[in-house]
Structure 1
């Protein structure tokens, strides 16, 4: 009988590519991961891995087993959801991931609504960049998370994860000392999020679409700080609606752009029907401001 925990390790190896990366993602030692994968190979009775230097490639049998592992793990999530429905009332921890601007502008109201309807739940919020959400959900560090995507940076499918339809959609703005277009600021210094984030990729692609590569002066991941730097002439930036709430500082002019950021909730495949996940998603819809389409779930 194949062990589910070892199948999870194989699934993570397919995503991360190295035993060291799997060990870091799941808080194991590399030797423990290696040993468990060796046991899985013995259980399977066929080679699952091909080692090439520091990287490990999966054999065709290994890749096929990962496909089955995804299905098994999804069914286990469905079973967990059914068991949760059988209990009386929602209780226990619910680990929520969110990006910073939603943590400030949307999540507190969602948690208040969740507490009013399900006082036994214990929401636990962690700020995490959407680029890191998939690994955190698969590792069991989060149960549900807010993720966003931009017109120029669409969401990539993630095996083992599921997404809702957009909960809300925000317009994007150019923040500068005066109104203008992205193309008109090809010579300006730019303020961008750190490399590796979706916000960084969005700004870079927007500038490239306008025909230039931005000259980056500051790397800042907090939109309040970004607007403060724009206000004192340190550069220009692209900012979503939530990043401008409650209002930009004096000296900042926002020019609306034909670009949008969409926010969805993400969770492990099979967990859509889990009552705690569904309750948080419903509370999130109710907390969205009316100008962003709040109050009624979008389908």
Structure 2
């Protein structure tokens, strides 16, 4: 019988590419990961890893085994979810990952509702870029997370995770004047840290308009970005959730570009009472936010 914990290590190796990466994500030592993977090879009776110096690659047999591992782990998650429905009270830890602009507008009211309705839950919130959420879910350092995509930066499907639609936002051009986007081909731009979705989106939207943005400032907090725009340090793209504190000197131009947020969780956990409660609270907070926005308009 193959060891499930070792299958999980193999799956993480397929995703992260290095034994050191697996060890860091799952709080193992690299030598412990290597030992467990060698034991899995002995159990399987076939070679799973090709070792060349310090690098390793998965054999075709290992890749097939990873596909089975996704299925096995999802079934185990589902079994645990079904057992949890027999409990009369929700207890344990719920770890939620969210991006900064969702923290105040959505996550705060959702946490208040969860604490009130399920006082036995121990809530843990982690702020992170959506690009890092899938890996954190697989590593079980998160239970549910908000992940994103933009029209020009589609999300890469992740095996072993389920997602559901959550929120769609308009993206705005924030500038000192109402000039349309093409007029800013020679402007200075403000974008997120290189590698983040916001940074990639800024580049691709501008390139689709016919120019490459000249990015001078990098900031991930939208309040900081708006402060820089108000100080005439550049122009920027801001999604709706980032427009909580807009200086009066800034002009906002709605664009056809959209940011779409999904809820993500490990496959098999959707109906776990804790995850179901989190999903309900988050959807309720998003619905209330939409109602408030509609009323203000």
TM-score, normalization by structure 2 = 0.95
Match of 1:4 in 2: 4
2:233 equivalent to 1:234: yes
Q: CA deviation at 1:269?
A: 0.8
Q: Is the 8 A contact 1:169 1:292 kept in 2?
A: no
2:28 equivalent to 1:41: no
Structure 1 residues 35 and 137, CA gap change in structure 2 (3 angstroms): same
Q: Is the 8 A contact 2:270 2:276 kept in 1?
A: yes
Q: Is the 8 A contact 2:228 2:234 kept in 1?
A: yes
Aligned residues: 292
2:282 equivalent to 1:284: yes
Match of 1:82 in 2: 82
Where does 1:139-154 land on structure 2 (aligned, <5 Å)? 139-154=139-154
Match of 2:271 in 1: 273
- Aligned residue for 2:270, secondary structure, equals coil
Q: Is the 8 A contact 1:168 1:293 kept in 2?
A: no
TM-score, normalization by structure 1 = 0.94
2:176 equivalent to 1:177: yes
Match of 1:250 in 2: 248
Q: Is the 8 A contact 2:190 2:225 kept in 1?
A: yes
Matches of 1:27 and 1:101, distance apart in 2? 29
Q: CA deviation at 1:250?
A: 2.5
Cα deviations by residue, 1:89-119 (Å, 9 ceiling, x for unpaired)? 1112100000000011111111112222222
Match of 1:209 in 2: 208
Greater displacement, 154-163 / 50-59:
50-59
Q: Is the 8 A contact 1:46 1:61 kept in 2?
A: yes
Match of 1:158 in 2: 158
Q: CA deviation at 1:291?
A: 6.3
Q: Is the 8 A contact 1:18 1:54 kept in 2?
A: no
Q: Is the 8 A contact 1:190 1:218 kept in 2?
A: yes
Q: CA deviation at 1:54?
A: 3.7
2:130 equivalent to 1:121: no
Matches of 1:268 and 1:205, distance apart in 2? 30
Cα deviations by residue, 1:149-170 (Å, 9 ceiling, x for unpaired)? 1111111101111101x22211
Q: CA RMSD in A?
A: 1.4
Greater displacement, 20-29 / 93-102:
20-29
Where does 1:24-35 land on structure 2 (aligned, <5 Å)? 24-35=24-35
Matches of 1:239 and 1:257, distance apart in 2? 10
Q: Is the 8 A contact 2:229 2:250 kept in 1?
A: yes
Instruction: Structure 1: give runs of 5+ residues left out of the alignment.
Output: 295-299
Cα deviations by residue, 1:19-41 (Å, 9 ceiling, x for unpaired)? 11111221222111111111110
Q: Is the 8 A contact 1:91 1:121 kept in 2?
A: yes
Structure 1 residues 243 and 120, CA gap change in structure 2 (3 angstroms): same
Matches of 2:290 and 2:40, distance apart in 1? 49
